[in-house]
Amino acid sequence: MRWILASIALLLASAGELAAQGKGIRLWNLTTATISGFQLSPAGKNEWGPNQTLNDKDKEVDHDERLRITGVEPGRYDAKVSYAGSKQCVVRDIEIKADAVFSIADKDLKDCKK
């Protein structure tokens, strides 16, 4: 009986770890507008990766929507954020953690250009 309980406990722990691993990194758009482009670069490098909004079913990230970020390891990044009408801003030195949500808000937007 004891080994059955130990086995069940081990299975539940493993299931919990798998569920946590499955969440991935996500962006939470807290800006007041819909994001049409989102690229990451290691902080200070200006080596922009692919447009992450292509991971979304409608290829945009509405206000208060979350977007799964792929192909990125935890670390510090700069983000290039694009909006309809050619407005583009940079957010510097974002800390991205494994299986966590990070957010971008209007106050974070710097170096905006049209």
Count of domains forming the chain:
1
Q: In what order do the strands lie in the sheet with 66-69?
A: 66-69, 25-30, 101-105
Q: How confident is the model over 30-68, as pLDDT tens digits?
A: 999 999 999 999 999 999 999 999 999 999 999 999 999
Quick check: is 2 in a domain?
Answer: no
CA distances from residue 55 to 37, 70, 105 in whole angstroms, order as listed: 11, 8, 20
Q: What is the CATH number of the domain that holds 66?
A: 2.60.40
Quick check: is 107 in a domain?
Answer: yes
CA distances from residue 36 to 4, 55, 89, 99 in whole angstroms, order as listed: 52, 11, 12, 23
Check whether 71 has a pLDDT greater than 80. Answer: yes
User: For position 72, what pLDDT does the model report?
Assistant: 96
Quick check: is 79 in a domain?
Answer: yes
Quick check: is 87 in a domain?
Answer: yes
Quick check: is 15 in a domain?
Answer: no
Q: How confident is the model over 1-18, as pLDDT tens digits?
A: 555 544 555 554 544 444
pTM across the whole model: 0.79
Domain that holds residue 97: 24-113
